Structure 1
Amino acid sequence: MKAITITEPGGPEVLTWSTVPDPVAGPGEVLIDVVAAGVNRADILQRQGFYDPPPGTSPYLGLEVSGHIAALGSGVFGWEVGQPVCALLAGGGYAERVAVPAGQVLPVPDGVSVVEAAALPEATATVWSNLFMGSGGTFTGSNLFMVAHVRPGETVLIHGGASGIGTTAIQLAKAIGARVAVTAGSPRKLARCAELGADILIDYRAEDFVSALHKATDGAGADVILDIIGAKYLERNVKALAVNGRLAVIGLQGGVKGELDLGALLTKRAAITATSLRARPLAEKAAITAAVREHVWPLTEAGRIRPVIDRTFPMSEAAAAHTALEAGDHIGKLLLSGS
């Protein structure tokens, strides 16, 4: 088969459309003929040599795909060859075929095309597991999923509201009855966030998000913050939190080391969590996937959650997709089309 390989760590030009060995469906796995793959920030880090795939997983880029089932490994039930699906991956999506644990496979939701479905697995799994999972008692007996617990009526601040994660988080938060604040870097991006349901629009290039949020909430702040920036925003995020607020850090675009005022955290009785999805054990990813299917898929099929897709590139032109992602002008997801 063909797959995107990395000749050496570096810029987008190191991505090459190469012939590689065909994958096979091992025990408990599903083999997928890839129709489309999502492009994510983690792919850029891996291309640059900073984010190796977990041991034993595919060396190729790509954390989510859509396509059709080509084969079932032993012990796999409930799926059929030819069925349209999408899947959460630890790697291997930038290819014509990929093998994935059956617990990370999802049916393509009604009303969503097979290509569009490639935009859903990573964003929905990330947002649901960090903002909502466990809030309704879906998982008991473990603090593993007890993250932000967004509740109806609470205010959620989403950094990077126009990103793939952000556009998904806006829709999900609105669907459960939260008030949504977003940061984005241009009026065009903020306008799209408003179309998706965002209530408070903050241009982080033109105003301080802490002051803007406090003004919009009469000084209360955000009950929950979903943060893709990391260290650069840590101090201001704590200031922006409401009493009993929760900060969920899911990205490190602004660095990995920051100074934390524990006194401010104690005064607000606030909490900070940091999670990643790729390296979770298979059982955890299967549980998250099952929760997404149970809670997010009905909203998607009802039209309340829709994939927001900026552009689709041919799979062989992955370098152009990475260049576009790094430029940061997109709204929603960038996809690679394999057929």
Structure 2
Amino acid sequence: MGRITGRTAGRTTGVGAAGTSEPKKKAHRTHRWRRALLATLITGAVVVPLSGAARPEIPAPAPAALAPVTAATLDETYAANRANAAEASRMAAAHGNRERAAADRAMADPSRHFLSFDGRGPGLATEVFGDLAHADRIAVLVPGSDTSIDTYDRFRDAARALHERLTREAPHGTRTAVMAWLGYETPATVSTTVTTAGRAEEAAPKLREFIRHLPALTADRKPRISLLCHSYGSVVCGRAASHLDVDDIALVGSPGTGADTAAALRTPARVWAARGSDDWVAEVPHVRLDLFGTVVGFGTDPMSPSFGARVFAAGDGGHSDYFRPGSTSLVNLARVVLGETSEVRHG
């Protein structure tokens, strides 16, 4: 459950000051959560079709045709994807979409390093920060809802802030890389899809394949890999976890993973969890309900003792503040990536 459970932990059952028994209070809360979830479904059913109808498809070229990428061909891959982004920008501009044209044009900048780029629809991209081929420590960021090429800058800012922190904190001789993996179509925050695991189930095989291919990109090194999963991205990581060869999985601002415990993720990786004290996701019902044949919600709160994750401090930030420069959460995430687990400040 979410924060409400934490508030009631340790209380005895029976009649309280208001004369209401604890089981009745629980039943009332569950009823309220069910109504909230149904309201979300109804809202999404209306909002999603209308927003989709109002937003025509933006033309873009197919992704660059590339041979399987290796450490030796990274520079060629980066160049090809920049060229593809530049063409996507021209097509978007000709279509009259200045915002998308500007976003694509920024991605075509010579300083950018994209392992993949697809400007069609909401857009997909994987950007690299640092020397991937020679990295000893790699962090892969998996984003949550409402992340697309149109909103990519905020995701990029998170990855860049982490890489800058790692560069400052890494022991002498330790090389780091951060990968911003926008490898799936994220759900809209106000939609039916954000309350179900459908998008996560589609994304999980893609994330597994991406992680499986990483050794080919690191010059046959065996880097330490950390998966940092934000919000709905933690649902994606939960679905993919049992087939991922990673050292750490950190869940931040998570609505749940779909698993009742960290052990149920069936991963040898260390599983971490954090939530800022001002994060609204604490109020999201951590339940899993079958509504008209559709499973809604993601179950146990990863922050709860029953889940069994290694909880670390995230300070007083909100839902979008986990990678804010100087924040407690960013400091601790960097320590997880660097393998300095004894230095992680626990929550």
TM-score after normalising by structure 2 = 0.27
Higher relative contact order (CA 8 A, sep 6+): 1
TM-score (norm 1): 0.28
Highest CA radius of gyration, 1 or 2? 2
Report the structure, 1 or 2, having the larger helix content: 2
More strand by share: 1
